[in-house]
Amino acid sequence: MVSSVSSNSSSSSSSSTSTSNQMIASNFQTFLTLLTTQLKNQNPLDPLDTNQFTQQLVQFASVEQQLKTNDTLTALLTAAQSTNLSNAVGFVGKTVTANGATATLSDGSTKWNVNLPRDAKTVTLTVTDSSNNVVWTEQKSMSAGDNAYTWNGKTSTGTLAPAGSYKLTVSAVDASGASMTPSLAYTGVVTGVSVSGGTTTLKVGDYSIPISDVTSVSS
């Protein structure tokens, strides 16, 4: 079920751009008034120097060009954000895996991906809650590469943990007893998308994930 599809950046960006354009337009009008007044009040016996006049005309053209450039850039930015949002909508309802150690427990289970640089004889997996309390720990052996780890939501006392955010900490040693550092990712279903500050994010559980952190997508 889609919970949200939103864009916060376009309105703030438009407001900021509008203010900037108003300031530039005000300066433009002031410059034009000064130039016109200078021409009207110049001394006929000592008219405005041609080089000075040319320089001021160049400045006049530069201000006008800046106004047009800002309008064009604003239009391009708005179009790009709309495109990003439209593309991101395709993630809604899909299961994604993203880099990270924290996941949301929902529907009684949650899943992480543990990637190991080589085979591990012993892997210690510890799940902690948002208050950093240990709720579950166990040991497994895992092979090199990606390993799916699913926690069924059961605590060490056998009760079911409440829905919420949980962090997985992993330590691993190989057959020779040497330790290794695994990389972690978590998996969840996308329920919404948003664009804020030029960054497109996906809503998975209680988290907003930058789309750049997503490593895999499945139906």
pLDDT score recorded for residue 187: 84
Contact of 219 with 20, CB cutoff 8 Å:
no
Domain 95-218 has CATH 3.90.1170.50: no
The token pair at 12 is 């703030």
Instruction: Say which DSSP state 46 is in.
Output: B
Task: Report pTM.
Answer: 0.53
pLDDT, tens only, 89-145: 788 888 888 888 888 887 788 889 899 999 999 999 999 998 999 999 999 999 999
- Point out which residues pair with 140 in neighbouring strands: 123
All structural domains of the chain with their residue ranges: 4-91, 95-218
17: pLDDT strictly greater than 70: no
Contact of 182 with 147, CB cutoff 8 Å:
no
Position with higher pLDDT, 111 vs 1: 111
78: pLDDT strictly greater than 80: no
Q: Spell out a b/e string for 110-120, using b for 16 or more CB atoms within 10 Å of the CB, else e.
A: bbbbbbbeeeb
Lowest mean pLDDT among 18-22, 62-66, 77-81, 125-129: 77-81
4: pLDDT strictly greater than 60: no
**Sequential DSSP letters for 119-181:** -EEEEEEEEE-TT--EEEEEEEEE-SEEEEEEE-SB-TTSPBPPSEEEEEEEEEE-TTS-EE-
The SS3 assignment for 45 reads coil
pLDDT band with cut points at 50, 70 and 90 for residue 15: low
57: pLDDT strictly greater than 90: no
pLDDT score recorded for residue 38: 72
83: pLDDT strictly greater than 80: no
pLDDT band with cut points at 50, 70 and 90 for residue 154: very high
